[in-house]
Structures are given as structure tokens and as C-alpha cells.
Amino acid sequence: MPDIGLLNGEFMPLRHARVSIEDRGFQFGDGVYEVVRTYGGVPFQLDAHLERLERSADAIGLSMPIPSAQWKEWVGEGVARAGYPECKVYVQVTRGVAPRDHLFPHKTTPTIVMSVREMRPLDPVLCQSGVVVMTMDDLRWGRCDIKSLNLLPNVLARQRASEAGAFEAILLRGEMVTEGAVSNIMMVCGGRVITPLEGVQILSGVTRRFVLSLARKAGIPVEERNVDLKELRRAEEVFLTGTTIEVLPVVRIDDVPVGSGQPGLLTKRLRTFFLEQIAR
């Protein structure tokens, strides 16, 4: 049973997992999610992902129907059942199935779903040579710290970037850089790693935090503060972080090369630290 689905506590082949068309996740995007990957078959930073899931649910007034111990058991079992060398685990909780009405339903059981698929590593050529990104307006709402199902602006941004030949969209509120459509962004200036501050305008990335802690441990100064586009364009190095992309160098922003136009030294060092930690 390779691709695994879990629907309200019941495991099944992914293709058999079906939810109602009246699920509020489907009709309103009324729910929250997480994406977790495994390394060596072990879910990476699962506690941090589950904490964020809980925070996101709380923030939309959805009480998490199950404790994190139950999630851990399901994730472990899903990964074991799938049996892939590495897995990508998607978990989602919605406000449940109810006749369509914007108001919260009085008595509805949240819908819990999980999928486990094979995690294929990112193309090693991209990791070595770096990627191009495209800047555009951040059209999202005012609570980007919540990992909600409402991803239309992210979807449109990433699609637009992809159609323009870029790997990722970099989102801007006026001149301020927020993050990527599916990643956080960091730059290197004068030997310091600088990244937009946590707050309502960005998702507090699990990989972001992990990479910042690696940098601090390695004695690399870190600054979390507002970043504007001019600074980003002048940065010596730029890289993205995220569950699926790890630490990924950026070599061009729109038409402007980053630094020398090659992945930077500090970015490569951080990527190596990251991979070393994972290997442990």
C-alpha cells in the first residue's frame, strides 16, 4: 500500500480517501495544515510542526480534536505503512462537514486527513547551481503566520513565477520583503545572516528557525528584522529555506544577479551544516 491516506483516524490507500463536498475545508478553506518530511525515515522536527498546527488551529478558533501524541502515532504508522525511503507527510484539519454557511457550525466534528507520499529530493543541480526568483506584490491576508488552507495568493504567485522561468516568487508588501510563496528568505550582508522578523506577515518556518539556530551555533551573527527590496538586491548572498527545499541558494532576483551570480560561501556552509545535522 504505497501512498497512504488517513481519514478521521482510519488508514486506507490514498486513492480511497474521500471527503464530503460540504467539508468546510473544501468550501471555505476553513482549516489548517502542515507538511512534514522524513530523513532516514524519521519525521523531521515533528514537534515543531505539531506545535505550529495547534497554534494555527487556535488562531482560527478550531480546537484541535486530537492530542499531538495521537498525531505522532499516526505519522509514524503512516510512514511505516508507506515504506518509502523518505516520505512527505501532509496533515490537515478542517472545521468539518456542515451545510454551507459562513458562520461556524454549532456541532460539527473536525475532519482530520493525512497523506503520506514518497518524498523525492530536490534536483541536486538546483541545490548546487542555485535558483532564480521573481519579486511581486504580496496579495495575501493579514495573518500569514497561520498555516491555513487559503493558499490561492501563494498558488497564483508561484505559478506566475514559474511561467516567467523562476523557481519561487518573493513577496513584497510595498518595499518590504516578506517571504516566498512556499519558503522563507534570508540574505547575507557583511557576514551576517539577515531575515524578515517573525510576525503576522510571514509564516514562522520550522526550517527557518532550525537554520537560524545552526547559524548561531556556528558563531554566525543573525539579525531578524525588516528587510527591504533594495537591501535584498544588494545582498552578497540570498537563500531560501523550507521543508521541501531545505537551504537553497538564490543566484538571481528578477534580472539582477545576487552577488557574483553564484551560490555564496556562507549559504553553502549553512547548507552543509544542515545536511550534516540531518545525517545525524
In the complex, which residues of this chain contact ligand PDD (CB under 6 A)? 35, 154, 179, 182-184, 203, 205-208, 241-244
Q: Which residue has the cell 500500500?
A: 1
Per-residue b or e along 133-144, where b marks 16 or more CB atoms closer than 10 Å to that residue's CB = bbbbebebeeeb
Q: Which is nearer to ligand PDD, 75 or 206 (CB)?
A: 206
Phi and psi for 38 in degrees, rounded to 5?
-105, 155
Find the shortest distance in angstroms from Cβ 51 to ligand PDD. Answer: 11
**CB of residue 147 vs ligand PDD: minimum separation in angstroms?**
7
C-alpha cell at 177: 520583503
Catalytic residue among 72, 88, 107, 147: 147
Q: Which is nearer to ligand PDD, 36 or 98 (CB)?
A: 36
Integer CA distances (angstroms), 77 to 45, 60, 89, 124, 154, in order:
17, 28, 11, 29, 31
Shorter beta-carbon distance to ligand PDD: residue 130 or 205? 205
Using CA atoms, how far apart are residues 125 and 122, in angstroms rounded to an integer?
8
Q: Which is nearer to ligand PDD, 82 or 186 (CB)?
A: 186
Q: Which amino acid is located at 263 in the chain?
A: P
Angle at 151 between CA 154 and CA 229, to 5 degrees: 30
Beta carbon nearer to ligand PDD, 171 or 266: 171
Q: Catalytic annotation on 147?
A: yes
Distance between CA atoms of residues 216 and 194, nearest Å: 12
CB 154, min distance to ligand PDD, A: 6
CB of 259 to ligand PDD, least distance (A): 23
SS3 152: helix
Interatomic CA distance for residues 75 and 174, integer angstroms: 40
Residues 6+ apart with CB under 8 A from 163: none
Q: Which residue numbers are catalytic? A: 147
